Amino acid sequence: MNIAKSFRKWTAYNQTVRQLNALDNRMLDDLGLNRGDIQRIARDHANQA
């Protein structure tokens, strides 16, 4: 794995975590998510980047 791809994945993961953590619990619930899902979703998103 090259450094640029690793950096893109790390950036995508951190951005997703920040954005989802900024939502309140009601907004997460509207999306069908809870706080325990955030890291998994961010990891899945980063792996697609």
Q: What is the pTM of this model?
A: 0.88
For range 20-47, the mean pLDDT: 97
Helix and strand element counts for the chain (H, E):
3, 0
- Produce one character per residue of 8-38: b if its CB has 16 or more CB atoms within 10 Å, e if not: ebeebbeebbeebeeeeeeebeeeebeeeeb
Average pLDDT over residues 14-33: 98
Judged on CB neighbours under 10 Å (0-12, 13-18, 19+), 42 is buried
The one-character DSSP state at 1 is -
Domain ranges (residues) in the chain? 3-48
Angle between helices 3-22 and 38-48 (to 10 degrees): 150
